[in-house]
Structure 1
Amino acid sequence: MTHRPFDHGTPGPSQASRPPIEIRRSARRRRTVQGRMEGDTFVVLMPTGLSAAQEEAHVEHLLGRVQRAQAKRRLQTEDLMGRAQDLSQRYLEGKARPTSIRWVTNQQQRWGSCSPASGAIRLSTLMEGMPAWVVDSVIVHELAHLIEANHGPRFKALVHRYERYAEAHVYLKGVAFGMGRPELDSGSDADLED
Protein backbone atom coordinates (compact mmCIF):
# COMPACT_ATOMS: atom_id res chain seq x y z
CA MET A 1 0.00 0.00 0.00
CA THR A 2 1.38 3.41 -0.94
CA HIS A 3 0.51 6.68 0.77
CA ARG A 4 1.00 10.14 -0.54
CA PRO A 5 -0.66 13.53 -0.25
CA PHE A 6 -2.88 14.34 -3.20
CA ASP A 7 -1.72 17.15 -5.48
CA HIS A 8 -4.71 19.06 -6.84
CA GLY A 9 -2.62 21.51 -8.81
CA THR A 10 -3.33 25.19 -8.36
CA PRO A 11 -6.27 25.59 -5.98
CA GLY A 12 -9.36 27.11 -7.57
CA PRO A 13 -12.26 28.69 -5.71
CA SER A 14 -13.88 25.33 -4.97
CA GLN A 15 -10.60 23.93 -3.71
CA ALA A 16 -9.87 26.74 -1.29
CA SER A 17 -11.93 25.10 1.48
CA ARG A 18 -10.79 21.54 0.73
CA PRO A 19 -9.17 19.55 3.51
CA PRO A 20 -5.76 17.97 2.96
CA ILE A 21 -6.21 14.85 0.83
CA GLU A 22 -4.23 11.65 1.15
CA ILE A 23 -4.49 8.80 -1.35
CA ARG A 24 -3.75 5.28 -0.20
CA ARG A 25 -3.25 2.85 -3.07
CA SER A 26 -3.40 -0.90 -2.66
CA ALA A 27 -2.59 -3.67 -5.15
CA ARG A 28 -5.08 -5.88 -3.27
CA ARG A 29 -7.90 -3.44 -3.90
CA ARG A 30 -9.33 -4.23 -7.34
CA ARG A 31 -12.29 -1.98 -8.05
CA THR A 32 -13.68 -0.24 -5.03
CA VAL A 33 -12.77 3.28 -4.05
CA GLN A 34 -13.64 4.66 -0.62
CA GLY A 35 -13.19 8.01 1.06
CA ARG A 36 -13.43 9.07 4.68
CA MET A 37 -12.34 11.81 7.02
CA GLU A 38 -9.51 10.92 9.39
CA GLY A 39 -9.15 13.92 11.64
CA ASP A 40 -8.82 16.92 9.33
CA THR A 41 -7.54 14.84 6.37
CA PHE A 42 -9.72 13.27 3.67
CA VAL A 43 -8.30 9.79 3.00
CA VAL A 44 -9.11 7.99 -0.25
CA LEU A 45 -8.51 4.24 -0.58
CA MET A 46 -8.16 3.13 -4.20
CA PRO A 47 -6.58 0.46 -6.39
CA THR A 48 -3.16 1.05 -7.91
CA GLY A 49 -2.94 1.70 -11.62
CA LEU A 50 -5.60 4.42 -11.99
CA SER A 51 -4.75 7.40 -14.13
CA ALA A 52 -4.39 10.84 -12.55
CA ALA A 53 -7.69 11.88 -14.18
CA GLN A 54 -9.47 8.83 -12.74
CA GLU A 55 -8.03 9.52 -9.29
CA GLU A 56 -9.10 13.17 -9.46
CA ALA A 57 -12.63 12.17 -10.54
CA HIS A 58 -12.92 9.72 -7.61
CA VAL A 59 -11.58 12.28 -5.13
CA GLU A 60 -13.98 14.99 -6.35
CA HIS A 61 -16.98 12.65 -6.25
CA LEU A 62 -16.24 11.19 -2.81
CA LEU A 63 -15.22 14.49 -1.23
CA GLY A 64 -18.40 16.11 -2.57
CA ARG A 65 -20.51 13.37 -0.99
CA VAL A 66 -18.76 13.70 2.38
CA GLN A 67 -19.00 17.50 2.39
CA ARG A 68 -22.71 17.42 1.46
CA ALA A 69 -23.39 14.92 4.26
CA GLN A 70 -21.49 17.10 6.75
CA ALA A 71 -23.40 20.19 5.61
CA LYS A 72 -26.72 18.38 5.94
CA ARG A 73 -25.87 17.30 9.51
CA ARG A 74 -24.91 20.88 10.42
CA LEU A 75 -28.09 22.29 8.91
CA GLN A 76 -30.32 19.75 10.62
CA THR A 77 -29.02 20.73 14.04
CA GLU A 78 -29.84 24.41 13.58
CA ASP A 79 -32.95 25.64 15.39
CA LEU A 80 -34.75 27.14 12.39
CA MET A 81 -38.15 27.21 14.06
CA GLY A 82 -36.83 29.22 17.00
CA ARG A 83 -35.11 31.59 14.59
CA ALA A 84 -38.30 32.02 12.50
CA GLN A 85 -40.42 32.63 15.60
CA ASP A 86 -37.95 35.25 16.84
CA LEU A 87 -37.95 37.02 13.47
CA SER A 88 -41.76 36.92 13.36
CA GLN A 89 -41.92 38.53 16.82
CA ARG A 90 -39.33 41.20 16.03
CA TYR A 91 -40.49 42.22 12.55
CA LEU A 92 -44.05 40.94 12.04
CA GLU A 93 -45.61 41.39 15.49
CA GLY A 94 -45.69 37.59 15.87
CA LYS A 95 -48.43 37.32 13.24
CA ALA A 96 -46.53 34.86 11.03
CA ARG A 97 -46.75 31.39 12.55
CA PRO A 98 -44.98 28.76 10.49
CA THR A 99 -45.88 25.12 11.11
CA SER A 100 -42.46 23.96 9.93
CA ILE A 101 -39.25 25.39 8.54
CA ARG A 102 -36.49 23.26 7.11
CA TRP A 103 -33.50 23.17 4.78
CA VAL A 104 -34.02 21.36 1.47
CA THR A 105 -31.48 20.20 -1.08
CA ASN A 106 -33.89 19.98 -4.02
CA GLN A 107 -34.69 23.70 -4.29
CA GLN A 108 -32.48 25.00 -7.09
CA GLN A 109 -34.57 27.86 -8.50
CA ARG A 110 -35.35 29.79 -5.30
CA TRP A 111 -33.64 30.72 -2.07
CA GLY A 112 -36.79 30.03 -0.12
CA SER A 113 -40.40 29.05 -0.58
CA CYS A 114 -43.50 28.61 1.52
CA SER A 115 -46.98 27.17 1.39
CA PRO A 116 -49.29 29.73 3.01
CA ALA A 117 -52.09 27.16 3.33
CA SER A 118 -49.99 24.71 5.36
CA GLY A 119 -47.54 27.20 6.92
CA ALA A 120 -44.50 25.19 5.74
CA ILE A 121 -41.32 27.11 4.87
CA ARG A 122 -38.39 25.63 2.93
CA LEU A 123 -34.92 27.15 2.61
CA SER A 124 -32.45 26.16 -0.09
CA THR A 125 -29.18 24.63 1.10
CA LEU A 126 -27.57 26.86 -1.55
CA MET A 127 -27.60 29.50 1.21
CA GLU A 128 -25.33 27.48 3.48
CA GLY A 129 -22.40 29.60 4.55
CA MET A 130 -24.09 32.90 3.72
CA PRO A 131 -24.19 35.60 6.40
CA ALA A 132 -26.97 35.14 8.96
CA TRP A 133 -28.56 38.50 8.05
CA VAL A 134 -29.00 37.28 4.45
CA VAL A 135 -30.63 34.02 5.53
CA ASP A 136 -32.79 35.99 7.97
CA SER A 137 -33.99 38.20 5.12
CA VAL A 138 -35.18 35.12 3.22
CA ILE A 139 -36.89 33.79 6.34
CA VAL A 140 -38.63 37.16 6.85
CA HIS A 141 -39.66 37.13 3.17
CA GLU A 142 -41.26 33.69 3.56
CA LEU A 143 -42.82 34.59 6.91
CA ALA A 144 -44.39 37.65 5.29
CA HIS A 145 -46.01 35.33 2.74
CA LEU A 146 -47.81 33.59 5.60
CA ILE A 147 -49.51 36.93 6.24
CA GLU A 148 -49.72 38.28 2.69
CA ALA A 149 -49.56 35.66 -0.10
CA ASN A 150 -48.66 38.02 -2.98
CA HIS A 151 -45.97 40.65 -3.54
CA GLY A 152 -48.36 43.58 -3.25
CA PRO A 153 -47.94 46.82 -1.26
CA ARG A 154 -48.85 45.22 2.09
CA PHE A 155 -46.27 42.48 1.53
CA LYS A 156 -43.59 45.05 0.64
CA ALA A 157 -44.35 46.99 3.79
CA LEU A 158 -43.92 43.82 5.87
CA VAL A 159 -40.57 42.71 4.41
CA HIS A 160 -39.09 46.20 4.58
CA ARG A 161 -39.50 46.12 8.36
CA TYR A 162 -36.36 43.99 8.22
CA GLU A 163 -33.73 46.74 8.00
CA ARG A 164 -31.28 44.85 5.76
CA TYR A 165 -33.87 43.44 3.34
CA ALA A 166 -32.84 45.51 0.30
CA GLU A 167 -29.14 44.89 0.99
CA ALA A 168 -29.74 41.13 1.28
CA HIS A 169 -31.72 41.15 -1.99
CA VAL A 170 -28.73 42.70 -3.78
CA TYR A 171 -26.36 40.22 -2.09
CA LEU A 172 -28.44 37.25 -3.30
CA LYS A 173 -28.63 38.63 -6.83
CA GLY A 174 -24.84 38.93 -6.85
CA VAL A 175 -24.38 35.38 -5.58
CA ALA A 176 -26.79 34.04 -8.21
CA PHE A 177 -24.91 35.95 -10.92
CA GLY A 178 -21.58 34.62 -9.63
CA MET A 179 -22.97 31.07 -9.74
CA GLY A 180 -23.98 31.65 -13.35
CA ARG A 181 -27.62 31.28 -12.26
CA PRO A 182 -29.19 34.73 -12.62
CA GLU A 183 -32.61 33.04 -12.74
CA LEU A 184 -32.38 32.14 -9.03
CA ASP A 185 -35.26 33.93 -7.34
CA SER A 186 -34.38 36.24 -4.49
CA GLY A 187 -37.85 37.70 -4.33
CA SER A 188 -39.63 40.01 -6.69
CA ASP A 189 -37.69 43.04 -7.93
CA ALA A 190 -40.85 44.93 -7.12
CA ASP A 191 -40.05 44.34 -3.44
CA LEU A 192 -37.29 46.91 -3.70
CA GLU A 193 -39.51 49.72 -4.91
CA ASP A 194 -40.64 52.37 -2.42
Structure 2
Amino acid sequence: MPRNDVHIERRTIDGTVVEVRRSTRRRRSVHAFRDGELIVLQVPAALSAPEVDAWAARMIARVAAKETQRRTRTPRSDDALAARAVALSAQYLDGAATPASIRWVRNQNSRWGSCTPASRTIRLSHRLQAMPDWVVDYVILHELAHLLEASHGRRFWALVNRYPRSERAQGFLEGVANAAGIADAWPRTDDIAEGGTH
Protein backbone atom coordinates (compact mmCIF):
# COMPACT_ATOMS: atom_id res chain seq x y z
CA MET A 1 0.00 0.00 0.00
CA PRO A 2 1.65 3.29 -1.08
CA ARG A 3 2.31 5.90 1.57
CA ASN A 4 1.25 9.51 1.01
CA ASP A 5 4.44 10.88 2.56
CA VAL A 6 6.77 9.09 0.07
CA HIS A 7 7.32 10.11 -3.55
CA ILE A 8 9.08 7.50 -5.69
CA GLU A 9 11.07 8.14 -8.85
CA ARG A 10 13.48 5.99 -10.82
CA ARG A 11 16.61 7.12 -12.59
CA THR A 12 19.83 5.62 -13.93
CA ILE A 13 23.02 6.94 -12.38
CA ASP A 14 26.37 5.72 -13.71
CA GLY A 15 24.63 2.70 -15.26
CA THR A 16 22.86 1.71 -12.04
CA VAL A 17 19.07 1.85 -11.73
CA VAL A 18 18.23 3.83 -8.61
CA GLU A 19 14.81 4.10 -7.04
CA VAL A 20 14.71 7.39 -5.14
CA ARG A 21 12.21 7.47 -2.33
CA ARG A 22 11.66 11.04 -1.14
CA SER A 23 10.00 11.17 2.26
CA THR A 24 8.53 14.15 4.08
CA ARG A 25 9.12 12.25 7.33
CA ARG A 26 12.86 11.96 6.69
CA ARG A 27 14.61 15.15 7.79
CA ARG A 28 18.38 14.63 7.45
CA SER A 29 19.39 11.00 7.01
CA VAL A 30 20.05 9.26 3.71
CA HIS A 31 19.91 5.48 3.46
CA ALA A 32 20.57 3.06 0.59
CA PHE A 33 20.19 -0.67 0.06
CA ARG A 34 19.94 -3.16 -2.81
CA ASP A 35 16.54 -4.52 -3.79
CA GLY A 36 17.08 -7.02 -6.58
CA GLU A 37 18.66 -5.26 -9.57
CA LEU A 38 18.17 -1.74 -8.27
CA ILE A 39 19.50 0.42 -5.47
CA VAL A 40 16.87 2.02 -3.26
CA LEU A 41 17.87 5.47 -2.02
CA GLN A 42 15.79 6.93 0.81
CA VAL A 43 16.20 10.71 1.08
CA PRO A 44 14.49 13.72 2.65
CA ALA A 45 11.87 15.24 0.33
CA ALA A 46 13.58 18.65 0.58
CA LEU A 47 16.79 17.57 -1.21
CA SER A 48 17.36 19.15 -4.63
CA ALA A 49 17.97 17.02 -7.73
CA PRO A 50 21.74 17.74 -7.74
CA GLU A 51 21.95 16.83 -4.04
CA VAL A 52 20.11 13.56 -4.71
CA ASP A 53 22.52 12.78 -7.58
CA ALA A 54 25.53 13.45 -5.34
CA TRP A 55 24.12 11.29 -2.56
CA ALA A 56 23.19 8.55 -5.04
CA ALA A 57 26.75 8.32 -6.40
CA ARG A 58 28.15 8.14 -2.86
CA MET A 59 25.61 5.57 -1.64
CA ILE A 60 25.91 3.37 -4.76
CA ALA A 61 29.64 3.15 -4.06
CA ARG A 62 28.97 2.31 -0.41
CA VAL A 63 26.48 -0.48 -1.27
CA ALA A 64 28.89 -1.89 -3.88
CA ALA A 65 31.77 -1.85 -1.35
CA LYS A 66 29.68 -3.74 1.21
CA GLU A 67 28.67 -6.32 -1.38
CA THR A 68 32.30 -6.81 -2.44
CA GLN A 69 33.38 -7.16 1.18
CA ARG A 70 30.71 -9.82 1.76
CA ARG A 71 31.76 -11.77 -1.36
CA THR A 72 35.46 -11.68 -0.59
CA ARG A 73 35.30 -12.42 3.14
CA THR A 74 37.35 -15.52 3.81
CA PRO A 75 35.31 -18.19 5.54
CA ARG A 76 36.66 -19.13 8.94
CA SER A 77 38.43 -22.48 8.83
CA ASP A 78 38.04 -25.40 11.25
CA ASP A 79 41.66 -24.81 12.30
CA ALA A 80 40.83 -21.19 13.12
CA LEU A 81 37.84 -22.40 15.17
CA ALA A 82 40.09 -24.77 17.14
CA ALA A 83 42.57 -21.98 17.89
CA ARG A 84 39.75 -19.65 18.93
CA ALA A 85 38.25 -22.33 21.19
CA VAL A 86 41.59 -22.78 22.99
CA ALA A 87 41.92 -19.02 23.49
CA LEU A 88 38.33 -18.61 24.76
CA SER A 89 38.69 -21.58 27.12
CA ALA A 90 41.88 -20.08 28.55
CA GLN A 91 40.36 -16.62 28.91
CA TYR A 92 36.94 -17.46 30.34
CA LEU A 93 37.02 -21.10 31.55
CA ASP A 94 40.51 -21.32 33.06
CA GLY A 95 41.54 -23.61 30.19
CA ALA A 96 39.32 -26.40 31.55
CA ALA A 97 37.25 -26.95 28.39
CA THR A 98 39.24 -28.58 25.59
CA PRO A 99 37.28 -30.04 22.67
CA ALA A 100 38.58 -33.08 20.79
CA SER A 101 37.28 -31.35 17.65
CA ILE A 102 35.36 -28.26 16.64
CA ARG A 103 34.15 -27.75 13.08
CA TRP A 104 31.68 -26.02 10.80
CA VAL A 105 28.72 -28.10 9.59
CA ARG A 106 26.00 -27.44 7.04
CA ASN A 107 23.29 -29.66 8.55
CA GLN A 108 22.36 -27.42 11.51
CA ASN A 109 19.65 -25.13 10.22
CA SER A 110 17.54 -24.90 13.36
CA ARG A 111 20.31 -24.26 15.91
CA TRP A 112 23.60 -22.42 16.05
CA GLY A 113 25.77 -25.13 17.55
CA SER A 114 25.84 -28.48 19.26
CA CYS A 115 28.13 -30.34 21.60
CA THR A 116 28.55 -34.02 22.44
CA PRO A 117 30.28 -34.03 25.83
CA ALA A 118 31.02 -37.78 25.71
CA SER A 119 33.18 -37.42 22.58
CA ARG A 120 34.11 -33.79 23.33
CA THR A 121 33.04 -32.72 19.83
CA ILE A 122 31.56 -29.35 18.92
CA ARG A 123 29.77 -28.45 15.70
CA LEU A 124 28.82 -24.93 14.63
CA SER A 125 26.29 -24.00 11.97
CA HIS A 126 27.87 -22.61 8.80
CA ARG A 127 25.36 -19.74 9.05
CA LEU A 128 27.54 -18.23 11.80
CA GLN A 129 30.43 -17.65 9.39
CA ALA A 130 28.94 -14.37 8.19
CA MET A 131 28.28 -13.09 11.72
CA PRO A 132 30.50 -10.79 13.80
CA ASP A 133 33.43 -12.36 15.65
CA TRP A 134 31.96 -11.53 19.08
CA VAL A 135 28.80 -13.53 18.22
CA VAL A 136 30.82 -16.53 16.99
CA ASP A 137 32.94 -16.31 20.16
CA TYR A 138 29.77 -16.46 22.26
CA VAL A 139 28.55 -19.59 20.46
CA ILE A 140 31.97 -21.25 20.83
CA LEU A 141 32.02 -20.42 24.54
CA HIS A 142 28.45 -21.69 24.94
CA GLU A 143 29.47 -25.04 23.47
CA LEU A 144 32.73 -25.14 25.45
CA ALA A 145 30.71 -24.66 28.63
CA HIS A 146 28.79 -27.84 27.73
CA LEU A 147 32.06 -29.76 28.03
CA LEU A 148 32.07 -28.76 31.70
CA GLU A 149 28.33 -28.74 32.38
CA ALA A 150 26.06 -30.73 30.05
CA SER A 151 22.70 -29.19 30.96
CA HIS A 152 21.42 -25.63 30.71
CA GLY A 153 21.31 -25.30 34.49
CA ARG A 154 22.52 -22.49 36.73
CA ARG A 155 26.14 -23.71 36.78
CA PHE A 156 26.17 -23.80 32.96
CA TRP A 157 24.90 -20.21 32.65
CA ALA A 158 27.36 -19.02 35.29
CA LEU A 159 30.15 -20.29 33.00
CA VAL A 160 28.65 -18.79 29.82
CA ASN A 161 28.01 -15.44 31.46
CA ARG A 162 31.72 -14.99 32.14
CA TYR A 163 31.76 -13.78 28.53
CA PRO A 164 31.03 -10.02 28.79
CA ARG A 165 29.00 -9.86 25.56
CA SER A 166 26.88 -12.89 26.41
CA GLU A 167 23.54 -11.09 26.70
CA ARG A 168 24.19 -8.94 23.64
CA ALA A 169 25.12 -12.02 21.55
CA GLN A 170 21.98 -13.83 22.71
CA GLY A 171 19.88 -10.88 21.55
CA PHE A 172 21.70 -10.76 18.22
CA LEU A 173 21.12 -14.48 17.60
CA GLU A 174 17.50 -14.21 18.70
CA GLY A 175 16.95 -11.38 16.21
CA VAL A 176 18.54 -13.36 13.37
CA ALA A 177 16.46 -16.44 14.27
CA ASN A 178 13.25 -14.42 14.39
CA ALA A 179 13.99 -12.79 11.04
CA ALA A 180 14.63 -16.24 9.52
CA GLY A 181 11.50 -17.72 11.10
CA ILE A 182 13.44 -20.16 13.28
CA ALA A 183 11.71 -20.66 16.61
CA ASP A 184 13.71 -21.56 19.72
CA ALA A 185 17.01 -21.79 17.83
CA TRP A 186 18.97 -21.08 20.99
CA PRO A 187 18.37 -21.35 24.73
CA ARG A 188 18.72 -18.11 26.68
CA THR A 189 19.94 -17.44 30.19
CA ASP A 190 16.33 -17.12 31.35
CA ASP A 191 15.57 -20.62 29.97
CA ILE A 192 17.36 -22.32 32.86
CA ALA A 193 16.43 -25.96 32.80
CA GLU A 194 17.95 -29.35 33.24
CA GLY A 195 18.09 -31.17 29.95
CA GLY A 196 20.02 -31.82 26.76
CA THR A 197 22.67 -29.72 25.14
CA HIS A 198 22.69 -27.30 22.22
Aligned mates of 2:149, 2:162 — CA distance in 1:
14
Secondary structure, aligned partner of 2:108: coil
Question: Structure 1's 98 and 175: CA in aligned 2 closer, same or farther, altered over 3 A?
Answer: same
| Contact 1:84 1:139 (C-alpha < 8 Å) held by counterparts | yes
Inter-CA distance 106–95: structure 2 relative to 1 (3 Å threshold): same
Matches within 5 A, 1:1-194: 11-12=34-35, 74-76=75-77, 79-187=80-188, 189-190=190-191
What's the Cα RMSD here? 2.8
Tell me the distance in 2 between the aligned counterparts of 1:127 and 1:135. 6
Give, in angstroms, the shift of residue 12 of structure 1: 2.7
Alpha-carbon distance in structure 1 between the residues aligned to 2:161 and 2:109: 25
Aligned to 2:27: none
* Count of residue pairs brought into register by the alignment: 132
Cα 1:181–1:89, aligned 2, differ >3 Å: closer, same or farther?
Answer: same
Distance 2:38 2:99 in 1: 38
* Structure 1, gaps ≥5 residues long: 1-6, 17-66
Between the aligned residues of both structures, percent identity stands at 47
1:177, CA displacement in angstroms? 0.8
Gaps (5+ residues) in structure 2? 1-15, 20-33, 40-70, 193-198
> How far is 1:109 from its partner?
1.2
Equivalent position amino acid for 1:86 in 2: A
Q: Distance in 2 between matches of 1:110 and 1:135?
A: 13
Amino acid at match of 2:144: L
Given that 1:100 and 1:119 are in contact with CA atoms closer than 8 Å, whether structure 2 keeps it comes out as yes
Using the TM superposition, give the Cα deviation of residue 15 of structure 1 relative to its aligned residue in structure 2, in angstroms.
9.1
CA–CA distance in 1 between the matches of 2:84 and 2:143? 13
Distance 1:113 1:179 in 2: 19
TM-score relative to the length of structure 1 = 0.60
Task: Provide closer, same or farther for how the CA distance between residues 180 and 101 of structure 1 changes in structure 2, counting only shifts above 3 A.
Answer: same
Q: 1:131 to 1:13 in 2, by over 3 A?
A: farther
